[in-house]
Amino acid sequence: MNRFILSAILLTISAVSAQQENDLVKNLPGLLFEVNFKTYSGFVDANANGTWKMHYTLTESRSNPDADPLLVWFNGGPGCSSLGGLFEELGPFYVNYDGETLYENPYAWNAKANVLYLESPIGVGFSYDTTTPNYFQANDDQTAGQNFLALTNFFTVAQPKYANRTFFLSGESYAGIYIPMLTDLLTTAINNNSFPNPNFAGSAIGNGFMNVAGLLNALVLWSGYHGRISIQDWEQIKTQCVKGADIDYFDFSQFTNASNKIDFAGDGSVCGNLIDPLISQNAFGDGGFDQYNFYQECYDVSSFQAPAPTPAPGKRTKRASHFNGQSSIKKNLRKPNNLAFTGTSNLNANTAALINRYSNDNNWGYFCWNEDAVGKYLNTDAVQTALNIPQAWKDQKNTWQDCRDSIYNNYVLTYNTTNQFFKNIITNVKTDFRFLIYNGDVDTVCNYLGDAYHIKKVAEENNLTTNSRTPWFYSDNRQLAGYVQTYTGQNANNATITIDVLTVKGAGHMVPFDRAGPSVQMITNFIFAASKGNVNYTDNSNFDTNIKLSPLVTGSSSTNFTMFILAIVALFAF
């Protein structure tokens, strides 16, 4: 009998080891730099019968992968892929304009963390339903259940070596719904000894969609104080709509409509018409702007050419415009004739030709064209083979999309606020737990003011202590990176709860890209906090801000261009 038990155990261990080995990415196409970490790509079950397959990618730590914490990342949408986060924001790989090669992001979040990207919910990216092609049905409760089971499967089957590792959740945008719900499920299961990894230490939410009405109301204030309305119209809003009430807490949502509970517009009333220009996020019409970064423009779209025939989402598209692949700007920028790029000076170069006069982005920023480049790259057969994407996914005639319209348009928003989930977590955790609520301060999709008001309310409802708001700084030069305010408390289980509300100065919705250096310093300090959750975000001892680039792959014909791109990355790091 014992022999049979031993044989069963050995078979189980062998099967788990086989999945780990099969999920290893052995040769990522187009890689232009040498890597010192492992990447895994595979699938975990997101339901009991295994028909929902959630795709994961794991980039292990560049520092100490056998000991560093696990950081789980979710993009939002709803319907946007976390591979967008990997290849466009916080991951170590950025895709070149050709959609075929990868250059280094030296500010990647796997500096001292093993970062797990989950494409959630099912139907997003490479995640799929084995029985229903092009599955797109989703709601908040279903997504939370999928995420919980996917993490369970990750710790028990896909990568059990992480089952005793300290881990954190993180994400942005609609992950402001995903993360509090999943955190609530995890803490409850851990208390009941029904989750395989009890070492859950905290959650970080960036530019979170945590309170629908709160974000909308605060956007009116944010827009009013960022020059989007005349003094006369602002006075009219106060006299005809607010009517003597406290404008900071006034409910403007009563003058709006939203068919999907997410995209709001004025309801046609006098007050609705007054606030409609302030809550509008139309990035394409007259007076349009990049809703993800109020102060960022991209290239003139009069001669737009996409570098790949990849379907782009009609909503939640990241940038207002794209570059023309054959433009004179691009052609000039491909010539590395600048001292900063080549180490040699060419004073005869036409520097004026490098300036894009349609935009305040005169350095051909990655954010203006990365979505198309990433789409082309991830829809390449060789790349999908390297990422272990199965034939079953391809047989459904799927195309990888950064954000999937069918999920966004059909998604059922179940909870318009997350207060109840924060309350459950704060009440029930049995070990010290910390939250980081961070916001780029020029995002209009999920603005910093609305999130700050939301957490203030959470703190009041749960009797947390309010601490002073202070600046935090980036690098040895102590450049102002933003501001942070901390709420603290202790529950009946003697667990200390900490909530840090932090802004990142000058960043928009995609903080890890817009302020790459400060963001990696921020997240590294968060996961390596001092005892009782005390985080010094100015501390740069956990992350070397003096970036050292990895060696280029020997024989690469793209060396000069890659060095040029890396110089741009360094330029935009702060």
Q: Which residues are catalytic?
A: 173, 443, 509
C-alpha span between 508 and 304 (Å, rounded) = 24
Q: DSSP H helical segments within 115-159, as ranges? A: 140-153
Q: Evaluate whether 135 touches 123 at the Cβ level (below 8 Å).
A: yes
Q: Evaluate whether 503 touches 511 at the Cβ level (below 8 Å).
A: no
Q: Evaluate whether 277 touches 229 at the Cβ level (below 8 Å).
A: yes
Q: Which helix (H) or strand (E) segment is 453 a member of?
A: helix 448-461
Whole-Å CA distances, 27 to 40, 94, 385, 388, 423: 11, 16, 10, 11, 45
Strands (E), 174-248: 200-208
C-alpha span between 76 and 61 (Å, rounded) = 24
Neighbouring C-beta atoms of residue 33, cutoff 10 Å: 18
Q: Which two tokens stand for residue 208?
A: 């979170």
Number of helices followed by number of strands (H, E) in the chain: 18, 16
Q: Which two tokens stand for residue 117?
A: 């990207």
The secondary structure of the chain in percent helix, strand, coil, rounded to multiples of 5, reads: 35, 20, 45
Tokens 């009563």 belong to residue: 254
With a CB cutoff of 8 Å and minimum separation 6, the contacts of 359 are 297, 298, 299, 300, 368
Q: Evaluate whether 123 touches 108 at the Cβ level (below 8 Å).
A: no
C-alpha span between 459 and 477 (Å, rounded) = 34
> Half-sphere exposure of 237 toward its Cβ, with a 13 Å CA cutoff?
25
Whole-Å CA distances, 135 to 339, 394, 404, 407: 51, 14, 11, 8
Tokens 């050995």 belong to residue: 10
C-alpha span between 502 and 518 (Å, rounded) = 12
